[in-house]
Chains A and B, each alone.
Chain A
Amino acid sequence: MNFSLYDFTPFNQWIDKFLHSHMSSFWAVAVEMTIIGLAILLFYALVGLFLVYAERKVCAFMQNRVGPNRVGPYGFFQTIADFIKLMLKELVHIKNADQLLFNLAPFIIIIASFMAIAAIPFAKGLHAIDFDIGILYVIAVSSLGVVGILLAGWSSNNKYSLIGAMRSGAQIVSYELSVGLSLVTIIILAGTMQFSQIVEGQANGWFIFKGHIPAFIAFVIFLISSTAETNRGPFDLAEAESELTAGFHTEYSGIKFAFFFLAEYMNMFIVASIAATVFLGGWMPFHMGGWAAFNHIMDFIPPFIWYIGKTFFVIWLMMWFKWTFPRLRIDQLLTLEWKYLLPINLVNILIMAFVVLMGWHF
């Protein structure tokens, strides 16, 4: 296969060499980090804004509506207008709130999602850092967000917020397990935890096809539990707007609310990109065995487009869930995890191990 067309590695190496030849290695690394940081920040903001717009459009179409269509063509700049509005809004000062934690909570949430995005490979050579234990790192970091939610709920001095935060604590601790185990299923198949190698391993077929039944089950479980982990409907118990008004972020306003809002969408983007990377081949093009011409055409589509396309497909699936299903109750949420997802997951790992052992995968 020929991926050299869109390989970013030479480009990266060229920048690296260029910087090192002009300054000391400390400053070179510092400049590189700044560039990467700024690039990710920009990407983060753009994706966040776009996802908010996309969600509003998707839900509007599912509900026989038009959705935002006033600001810009097809309402494309609606979220930018919203963002400006949120920036200008008053930050409500809460009496008797724990000021330090109250102000810290949105940053914890946003930093957690920010850290997770660093390990995700967008294309060949286009990732901030390629850990040996990439999957483990992403799982660990993305579960930090719950600390922010708990702090937000606790420090707001609001009863709704507290209930929402406690619900979210129980929820994320439980569903973290399923997310991890469903990824373990694929780790067994891939034999590695490094994202770049997982993607390389899917050059001749995505894992969801290679691992057929157990991989598909793992994909479905991952979708369900990652939806739950990102606090999205039908698992949005922490917000539960018809019960707890807005749950843990009831008391937040202005830019702090915008952080929560943005982090929700970025978390969704992160889990969707993990799903795309691990199950749907990441930036690997879609290939059909034996169709050389077809495969060649597919290769010409840049890997970044493949990656974004797959990610947005998963995000669309998650939006579809949210805008169709009613919300679960807290006990049913835990029943679903402990009585259904977890046992199925464990059996599924066993099946996957057996499949890999017998070489029944493609």
Chain B
Amino acid sequence: MNSFFKYFSEIFHGVKSLLTGMKVTGRYFFSPGEIVTQQYPENRKTLKMYDRFKGEVIMPHNERNEHRCTGCGICETSCPNGSIEILQAKIDMPDGKKKRIIDKHIYHLSMCTFCGLCIKSCPSDALAWGQEFEHAVFDRAKLTKILNKPGSSIIKDIVE
């Protein structure tokens, strides 16, 4: 007799647990307000990334097309993956001395792991995180970027 009751209580508890589960899915079925999907390409206009978002490494330039990079190469050595290459150039200073300045700050986005060590280690705060996140391109070569804009120069008050 005991096992008889056990048999039916098993069925009862089983069905009850199944109905509890169905209650959850049923509730969500009838409450479309809880849908969490983002309609991505449509919401591009309103989509705002957080201000700390690590999209890519950029070199901010001011309105006079000046940046803060001295070309010291600390970011190059601190990068664990070799995604930064710095090409230096020598220019003649007005006082006759030769000075090294940055020629090209090459950034391989395809090798970057977004660890942030270059930005953290930069002594003159020349690098920053950019908000761009749509990095898909058809040609891999496009992922190699030159961060200093053509014709840009260093801000005057930066000293090495």
- The answer to whether any beta carbons of A and B sit under 8 Å apart in the complex is yes
Q: Is A99 an interface residue (CB 8 A)?
A: no
A interface majority secondary structure: loop
**What size tier do the contact residues of chain A reach?**
10 to 19
Q: Is A66 an interface residue (CB 8 A)?
A: yes
**Once the chains bind, are B28 and A324 in contact (CB under 8 Å)?**
no
Please count how many residues in chain B sit with their CB below 8 Å of the partner chain's CB atoms: 15
**Once the chains bind, are B21 and A65 in contact (CB under 8 Å)?**
no
**Once the chains bind, are B26 and A64 in contact (CB under 8 Å)?**
no
B interface majority secondary structure: helix
Q: Is A58 an interface residue (CB 8 A)?
A: yes
Q: How far is the CB of A321 from chain B (nearest CB, A)?
A: 8
Q: Is A23 an interface residue (CB 8 A)?
A: no
A14 surroundings in chain B (CB, below 8 A): none
**Among B22, B34, B35, B37, which residue has its beta carbon within 8 angstroms of that of A324?**
B22
| A48-87 interface code vs B (CB 8 A; 1 in, 0 out) | 0000000000100111111001000000000000000000
**Once the chains bind, are A324 and B29 in contact (CB under 8 Å)?**
no
Within 8 A of A (CB), among B27-45: 28-29, 32, 34-37, 39
Given contacts A65-B35, A66-B35, contact A325 B28 (CB under 8 A): no
Q: Is A320 an interface residue (CB 8 A)?
A: yes
**Once the chains bind, are B32 and A61 in contact (CB under 8 Å)?**
yes
Within 8 A of A (CB), among B16-64: 18, 21-22, 24-26, 28-29, 32, 34-37, 39
Q: Is A131 an interface residue (CB 8 A)?
A: no
A65 surroundings in chain B (CB, below 8 A): 35-37
**Once the chains bind, are A64 and B34 in contact (CB under 8 Å)?**
yes
Among A62, A65, A320, A340, the one with the most B-chain Cβ atoms within 10 Å of its Cβ is A62
B87 surroundings in chain A (CB, below 8 A): none
B91 surroundings in chain A (CB, below 8 A): none
Bound Cα distance A321, B26 (Å) = 10
Q: Is A323 an interface residue (CB 8 A)?
A: yes
B34 surroundings in chain A (CB, below 8 A): 64
B21 surroundings in chain A (CB, below 8 A): 324-325
A58 surroundings in chain B (CB, below 8 A): 29
**Closest residue of A by beta carbon distance from B11:** A340
Q: How far is the CB of A233 from chain B (nearest CB, A)?
A: 12
Bound Cα distance A62, B25 (Å) = 5
Within 8 A of B (CB), among A195-227: none
**Once the chains bind, are A325 and B18 in contact (CB under 8 Å)?**
yes
**Once the chains bind, are A62 and B35 in contact (CB under 8 Å)?**
no
**Among B11, B28, B39, which residue has its beta carbon within 8 angstroms of that of A61?**
B28
A64 surroundings in chain B (CB, below 8 A): 28, 34-37
Q: How far is the CB of B15 from chain A (nearest CB, A)?
A: 9
**Once the chains bind, are A61 and B24 in contact (CB under 8 Å)?**
no
A320 surroundings in chain B (CB, below 8 A): 22, 25-26, 29
Q: How far is the CB of B22 from chain A (nearest CB, A)?
A: 5
Bound Cα distance A163, B28 (Å) = 35
A324 surroundings in chain B (CB, below 8 A): 18, 21-22, 24-25
Bound Cα distance A325, B35 (Å) = 21
| A321-355 interface code vs B (CB 8 A; 1 in, 0 out) | 10111000000000000001000000000000000
> Interface residues, chain B, CB within 8 Å of chain A?
11, 18, 21-22, 24-26, 28-29, 32, 34-37, 39
Interchain Cβ contacts under 8 Å between A and B, 17 examples: A58-B29, A61-B28, A62-B25, A62-B26, A63-B28, A64-B28, A64-B34, A64-B35, A64-B37, A66-B35, A66-B39, A69-B39, A321-B22, A323-B25, A324-B22, A324-B24, A325-B21
Ranked 7 nearest A-B pairs via Cβ? A62-B25, A324-B25, A66-B37, A61-B29, A324-B21, A62-B29, A324-B22
